[in-house]
Chain A
């Protein structure tokens, strides 16, 4: 079952098309990375899902239903540009934001209490946001995003502005929320986050979706049949079957060579050929990182 389905969504502005026929399927309880360079249309898509702006064409389904105002209570949204009422006290602010999301005042109070105990920030209750540090304000905003226990949580660059300790804290909370049944959409440039947390990804470039799928499958798809060999002594297998991609000296006197298989040979056959040619100390397949896939696709797209 998909928590969120985006079907053929197009959004046009006067001078440009921000989203061009984009379709996505976000599975239940997934952590879904929405990737793309700046200006690709991610924020536009997120705003459409949050009903801040309307799409020109296409439909959006939440929980299998057509997106409508009552879904606001099901969605939690942390915008990239963080912001709270500066003059409002932490407690009042959280209650207000929760009530706007459809929570009753008493429910809001109970849940806020739970969160401020969890984050050990009880004594912030009567402080104004303008008296808090940026990191502290971010924590409050994170709480306000998840306070109404949304089924679908949309986080735009969730880790920016957090120090490593708090970033870990937030990461653990995200994983816990997923365990409890929420679906999380990440919009980010930080590929290490994607590698670590996401199980599904979509890549949007120049208003179009150019890639979508489970992270594992995407990575498998972009395997280049390249292997990293650590060895002692020079050798060459260049020819009909193999191509040397790179070659470098390692610190401890070993050498590292990357070899790509050009023909239909497999890894075992490569090892057999290597055994005759050099002394092998290490052998593994080179799996492309999300970063490499991202750069390859985005740059490739710009040539067309």
Chain B
């Protein structure tokens, strides 16, 4: 036991003392928000500063009101469409919109001619513009008063409240829960891959530098493997902890800065023009406040560790079997399949439908549960499912560690042999 601790300590120090650890740990949480901020800023600048492009339009229906939309300046072209096409092809302008005489009940035939393919956003903008104008034309045709029209405009946001048996009301905002599930799932996915690869690399290094023979004459191969896995887990936890501290402090500084800096008038205007803003924001804050933060963080740590231990052992076994990372590819692939499945499932249906049968099963099967359960955890998981998932994950990593250690003990002493799955099975079956 004492020796496992020595190995854990050594692995921990090896990684933490490296410059790359310091850089990754401190810069990464700063780099991502910075990149996002720069991109948002650049996009905004572009939107504001860009010269608006010209779209000429030929309106044969007489319904279209030449009002500019976003980045487009709309210019009426007086004349028929053929002339307009000729004029357009000789110009540097963005596009030519042709609105033929249309039947109000079945409008069709609106065409946009461009030289480069327009983006879906541009098309959407134009479509909604035309749609709203046709709608207005219809209203007028049906003699509906403008005031009635205005009062028809509604903006609804549903506030959902979980009513527990004891009668307590808990507000929940599914967008926040969605975000928590997504971030948790992605983080676990990345952590398992990054740290799993590091375990594998470490094992390959020990094997190829031949130092492993000296080490396993002092400790059992199982102790070496477990020490390495746990050592890296402690590095991962430390890194994660530093990130949480950094991100919370950086984001609170940033939020504080913007909150303080934003002119009162502008803020008031914004709220006035967006009637939903205030209550939306309040809802989000309320959901965050009422969320069992401790429960979610501890579930994250449990599923992070569980998933890491489960896959880490497999990565260690792969590392022990091969002589170079290139050789490892063929064995890595099947390990990553359940990870990929749960990752894609997270985005395709778990987050949208966290209580479906398949979501439940994916969150119980230990190979997929670390990511799948993170997707579900915020939405509330029945205790029985949670217990089943936890028990299966613990059983899962005990099982993979056992399988991996049987391959590892033989693999680390084998050099230059061509390894196939058949060979791995043989090693697994071999009596020590």
- Seen from chain A, the residues whose Cβ lies within 8 Å of a Cβ on chain B are 13-14, 47, 50-54, 56, 72, 75, 77, 79, 81-88, 96-97, 99-101, 141, 144
The 10 closest A-B CB pairs, nearest first, are: A83-B210, A83-B211, A100-B218, A50-B217, A81-B210, A79-B213, A83-B209, A77-B217, A52-B216, A54-B432
- Can you list 22 A-B contacts (CB < 8 A)? A47-B413, A51-B217, A52-B217, A52-B413, A53-B413, A72-B217, A75-B217, A77-B214, A77-B217, A79-B210, A79-B213, A79-B217, A83-B214, A84-B211, A85-B209, A86-B205, A88-B14, A97-B214, A99-B6, A100-B7, A101-B218, A144-B214
Contact of A100 with B215 at beta-carbon distance under 8 Å, contacts A52-B413, A54-B432, A87-B14 already known: yes
B152 at the interface (CB under 8 A from A): no
Contact call A96/B10, Cβ cutoff below 8 A: yes
B219 at the interface (CB under 8 A from A): yes
B148 at the interface (CB under 8 A from A): no
- Seen from chain B, the residues whose Cβ lies within 8 Å of a Cβ on chain A are 3, 6-7, 10, 14, 205-206, 209-219, 413, 415, 426, 430-432
Q: Could you say which residues of chain A place their CB within 8 Å of the CB of B415?
A: 81
Q: Could you say which residues of chain A place their CB within 8 Å of the CB of B10?
A: 96
B353 to chain A, nearest CB (A): 48
Contact of A100 with B6 at beta-carbon distance under 8 Å, contacts A54-B432, A72-B218, A88-B14 already known: yes
Shortest Cβ distance from A98 into B: residue? B218
Q: How far is the CA of A53 from the CA of B410 in the complex (A)?
A: 9
A233 to chain B, nearest CB (A): 60
B429 to chain A, nearest CB (A): 9
Shortest Cβ distance from B427 into A: residue? A14
Contact call A100/B209, Cβ cutoff below 8 A: no
Interface of A, secondary structure class, is: loop
Contact call B213/A81, Cβ cutoff below 8 A: yes
Q: How far is the CA of A79 from the CA of B210 in the complex (A)?
A: 9
Q: Could you say which residues of chain A place their CB within 8 Å of the CB of B432?
A: 53-54
Q: Could you say which residues of chain B place their CB within 8 Å of the CB of A53?
A: 413, 432
Additional A-B contact list (14), CB under 8 Å, known A52-B216, A81-B210, A84-B209:
A13-B430, A14-B426, A52-B217, A56-B431, A77-B214, A83-B209, A83-B212, A83-B213, A84-B211, A84-B214, A86-B205, A100-B3, A100-B219, A141-B214
B345 to chain A, nearest CB (A): 39
Q: Could you say which residues of chain B place their CB within 8 Å of the CB of A51?
A: 217
Q: How far is the CA of A53 from the CA of B216 in the complex (A)?
A: 9
Q: Could you say which residues of chain B place their CB within 8 Å of the CB of A85?
A: 206, 209, 211
Contact call A97/B218, Cβ cutoff below 8 A: yes
Q: How far is the CA of A222 from the CA of B214 in the complex (A)?
A: 37
A36 to chain B, nearest CB (A): 19
Q: How far is the CA of A88 from the CA of B17 in the complex (A)?
A: 11
Q: Could you say which residues of chain A place their CB within 8 Å of the CB of B209?
A: 83-86
Q: How far is the CA of A75 from the CA of B216 in the complex (A)?
A: 13
Q: Could you say which residues of chain B place their CB within 8 Å of the CB of A86?
A: 205, 209
Q: How far is the CA of A43 from the CA of B211 in the complex (A)?
A: 16
A258 to chain B, nearest CB (A): 45
Shortest Cβ distance from B215 into A: residue? A100
Q: Could you say which residues of chain A place their CB within 8 Å of the CB of B213?
A: 52, 77, 79, 81, 83
Q: How far is the CA of A79 from the CA of B214 in the complex (A)?
A: 7
Shortest Cβ distance from A72 into B: residue? B218
Q: Could you say which residues of chain B place their CB within 8 Å of the CB of A77?
A: 213-214, 217
Most buried by A among B3, B209, B432: B209
Shortest Cβ distance from B409 into A: residue? A53
